[in-house]
Amino acid sequence: MSNTRKLTMAQAIAEAISQEMTRDPNVFVMGEDIGAYGGIFGATGGLLDKFGKDRIMDTPISETAFIGAATGAAAAGMRPIVELMFVDFFGVCMDQIYNHLAKNTYMAGGNIRLPVVLTTAIGGGYNDAAQHSQCLYATFAHMPGIKVVVPSNAYDAKGLMMQAIRDDNPVMFMYHKGIMGLPWMAYFEGSSNDVPEDAYTIPFGQAKVVREGKDLTIVTISQMVQKALLAADELARAGVSAEVVDLRTLVPLDRDAVLKSVAKTGRLLVADEDYLGFGLSGEISAIVAENLDTLALKAPVRRLAVPNVPIPYSRPLEQFVIPQVGGIVEAAGKLMTARLAEGAAA
């Protein structure tokens, strides 16, 4: 194993891109403010100096054009990485993504490869309001044809980014702003961790049990993993042993890891920063419900997510709608005392 250093998630992502660009001349990066600025969230820091303007290309604010161009360039043999600053901005170019990038391989009967990585920042918690704070990973996971990667820490981010670049399919790589380790935004320090200098990949579709426990399972992803770990510490002090499962990728989804953990603990809490309705928490709950013939629950499943309202600006409102550490602890407590209906197997 090579030397490791503590990196922020932003540094880990930039390093993964840099190493893949060195290895493969077909990899290049396009996007807004990714050159001299180094990406608004630092995901392309230092790359312009290393690779020059031909491979680190600042774009006009023309997302339909440059994301569509990524699809075209990929079909022609290149491996573009394309950043679109905030996931909230995808509306301006969604047709090129969900009708073309996501579907062309299928409509071609598998006869074309579209190795495109779309990178974008997600998440709230710093009062940037309704158009700059969403997660929306479930929206992209809902639509067939795009793999969806949502790391919770620097180590995973590097390995998952390398895997994303090497994958021959479209990948959405979504990084939460509040775990990037930026010098201008509060972040969860557990997200900066030891990262090997050498290249490595982390396969998609492998969730990680980031904390073992026996009383309940918290299934989560992205920044919420860091919140869940802090909540698990608090719960432990109260005598409750929580297992925390970091899904790491939504597409493909590691159903077995969810089922295995819930079979062990008998209780499921999904903690999610995306919207509650028709989303991740519903999907995970459904997977468990579909398998109640082989696993037994001790309590009904609980879901924590953003209620179906846009993210409000004002601090007390935003703190109320986005699940916090205290909210996870509270929900876990309720889960521990909840009971199934009489007659239900336990």
Partner 1 sequence: MQASKETLLWMYEKMVEIRHYEETMANVYLEGKLPPHIQKGLAFDIGSGPVPGEMHLAAGQEPVAVGICAHLKIEDTVVGTHRPHHFAIAKDVPLDKMTAEMFGKVTGLGKGKGGHMHLFDPVHKFSCSGIIGASLPPACGAGLAAKKMGKDWVAVAFFGEGAANQGSFHEALNLAALWNLPVIFVCEDNQWAISVPKSESTSVDCVADRASSYGIPGIFVANNDALEVYEAAAPAVERARRGEGPTLIEVKTDRYLGHFQGDPEAYRPKDEVANLRKNDPIPKLAGVMRRLGMLSDGDEAAIVARAKQRVADAFDFARQSAYPAARDALDDVFV
Residues contributing to the site for partner 1 (CB under 8 A) = 32-33, 35-37, 40, 58-64, 88-89, 91-92, 125-132, 183-187, 307-310, 312-321
132 is a catalytic site residue = yes
User: Least distance to partner 1 from the beta carbon of 61, Å?
Assistant: 5
DSSP alpha helix (H) spans, the chain:
9-23, 47-51, 63-75, 94, 104-107, 137-142, 154-166, 223-237, 255-265, 280-289, 315-321, 325-337
- Given the residues 15, 20, 32, 132, the one annotated as active site: 132
Q: For 287-298, give one letter per residue: b (16+ CB within 10 A) or e.
A: bbeeeeeeeebb
Nearest Cα neighbor of 229 from 332, 99, 102, 321 is 332
Amino acid identity, position 116:
V
63 is a catalytic site residue = yes
User: Least distance to partner 1 from the beta carbon of 319, Å?
Assistant: 7
Amino acid identity, position 317:
L
User: Least distance to partner 1 from the beta carbon of 189, Å?
Assistant: 8
For the record, the structure tokens of 260 come out as: 């295995």
Q: For residue 61, what is the DSSP state? A: S
Q: Which is nearer to partner 1, 22 or 62 (CB)?
A: 62
- How far apart CA 21 and CA 126 sit, in angstroms, is 33
Q: Which is nearer to partner 1, 19 or 226 (CB)?
A: 226
Q: Which is nearer to partner 1, 200 or 320 (CB)?
A: 320
- How far apart CA 19 and CA 196 sit, in angstroms, is 12
Q: Which is nearer to partner 1, 128 or 254 (CB)?
A: 128
User: Least distance to partner 1 from the beta carbon of 78, Å?
Assistant: 21
- Given the residues 20, 32, 63, 318, the one annotated as active site: 63
Q: Which residues are catalytic?
A: 63, 132
